[in-house]
Amino acid sequence: MFLGDNLSDFSAQFDLKSTMQRNKIVDSLRNDFGTKFIVFPNPMYGDWESKGIYENKKSWSDSQKDSIRKSKLNDF
């Protein structure tokens, strides 16, 4: 059993791959998620923030980051 917050925590297959490639690998390993691979999301930091929300731009001010986070929130 592997515990992690990033696909690379589960297998080196995910290292240095595009999102599309990683998605295909996830599909091929779908039966392992929830049994062999246990995902623990990390709400404090990670690629979801730096590469996702902030679009890999490191020069945002704190005020800009706050505005970006708020603009990307979805409510249901």
Counting beta carbons within 10 angstroms of the beta carbon of residue 10, is it exposed (0 to 12), middle (13 to 18) or buried (19 or more)?
buried
Whether residue 35 is found in the same domain as residue 53: no
**Structural domain of 8:** 1-41
Same-domain pairing of 19 and 52 = no
- Same domain for 16 and 51? no
pTM above the 0.85 mark? no
Same domain, 26 and 5: yes
Q: 33 and 54 share a domain? A: no
Q: What share of the chain has pLDDT > 90, as a percent?
A: 54
Residue 67 has pLDDT above 90, yes or no: yes
Clarify whether residues 37 and 49 are in a common domain: no
Mean pLDDT of 23-46: 91
Is the pLDDT reported for residue 75 higher than 80?
no
CB atoms closer than 10 angstroms to residue 44: 7
23 pLDDT more than 80: yes
